[in-house]
Amino acid sequence: MEHTEGACKEMEWNSSSDPNSHVNALPTEDTTLDPSYLIALIRRLMPSEAQTALLTTEPTASKEAKSEEEEDDKVTAGCILWDITTIAAQAEFLGNNLLPQVALCNLQNSPSERLQEVMLGIMANLSVQPSGAAKLAEVEFRQEILSVFHDSQSPPVLTEVLRLFRMACSSTCTAAALAWARDLLQAVHLQRVGWIIANSLSSGIVERAADVISALATKQREMAVPELVYQAGLLTQLTDGLQTHTQAAASAHDNMEGEGESMAAVDGLLRALEVGTTVLTQATLVT
C-alpha cells in the first residue's frame, strides 16, 4: 500500500459523535470511529447557508471576521480528516461519502493556502484507495489540481500536490493511474516539475518532485505512449538539483542541522536519475 500522511499531528480529534469535542489522541488502524462523527466533520467543510445569507447584510468588518472564523473551523475539521484518512477503512468510507467532492469545492473557492494544503493532503490520502483514486481521476478533479499546481507558489501546497501526483500515478486503480500519467506526461506539466527540481531550495518539495518523475517513468513503461518522461532538459534539471541538495546536505552536516531532509532529497533525485537511465537505455535499444 502507498504511504499516507497526516500532517496535522498537532490537532486534536475524537471518536465520539460530537465533532466539537476533542481528545489528545491520534487515530490508528484499531480505532473505532462513529460514522456520524465522520459525517459531521465533512459537514463542517461545507459552507453554511445560514451564515452565507447573514454575511450579505452585515458590515464588511463583521463579514471578514465571520469568514475567517468559518475558515479556521474548516481547517480544524480538515486537519482531523487528514489524519483519519491515513486509515484505509476510514478513507474508503469517507471517499464514498462526498469527502472528495467537498474537498474539491474548497479547493476551487478558497484563497487560503492553508486550507488548500489541507484539502490536497486529504485528497492525497484518499487516492491510495482504489475508489478514492477513481474519483480523483475524474476530469474536474484533475483540471483543478493541475491548475493549483501551476498557479500556487506556496511550498506546503506544492508539497501536497506533488505527493498526490505520485500516489495517483502509483495507484492500484489502473484507469486512474493511467489518466493521471497521461496528463502529467504533457510537456507543460513536466517542465513545471523540472523547474521546481532545479529552482526550489525546499528539500521536501524537491524530494516529492523527484518521486513524481520516478513514478511517471515507471508507469510509462506500462503505457503505449511515445513521449518520454526524460525530455525537455529534465535530466539536466535533475542533475542540477542533485548538485544543489548534495551541497546543502554537506553544509547541514557541518552545521549539524537539517541533514536528514537534504539527504532525502538527494536520495529521491538519485532514484529518479536511476530510473531515467534505465528508461533511456530501453528506448535506445527499441529504436
How far is the C-alpha of 223 from the C-alpha of 44, rounded, in Å? Answer: 41
pLDDT of residue 218: 83
pLDDT of residue 259: 61
Q: How many CB atoms lie within 10 A of CB 23?
A: 10
pLDDT tens, per residue, the chain with 287 residues? 445 666 554 444 444 444 444 434 556 666 668 899 999 999 999 977 544 544 455 566 656 677 888 999 999 999 999 999 999 999 999 999 999 999 999 999 999 999 999 999 999 999 999 999 999 999 999 999 999 999 999 999 999 999 999 999 999 999 999 999 999 989 899 999 999 998 888 888 999 999 999 898 888 777 755 556 666 578 888 888 888 888 888 887 666 565 677 788 888 888 888 876 665 555 544 55
Position 247 scores a pLDDT of 86
Sorted by where each begins, the domain ranges of the chain are: 1-174, 185-287
Query: Which amino acid, one-letter code, is at 118?
Result: V
Please tell me the predicted confidence (pLDDT) of residue 66: 76
Top-tier CATH class for 1-174: mainly alpha
What SS3 string covers 133-184? HHHHCCHHHHHHHHHHHHHCCCHHHHHHHHHHHHHHHCCCCHHHHHHHHHHH
Q: Which residues of 116-150 are buried (b: 16+ CB within 10 A; e: fewer)?
A: bbbbbbbbbbbbbbbbbbbbbbeeebbeebbebbe
The pTM (predicted TM-score) of the whole model is 0.81
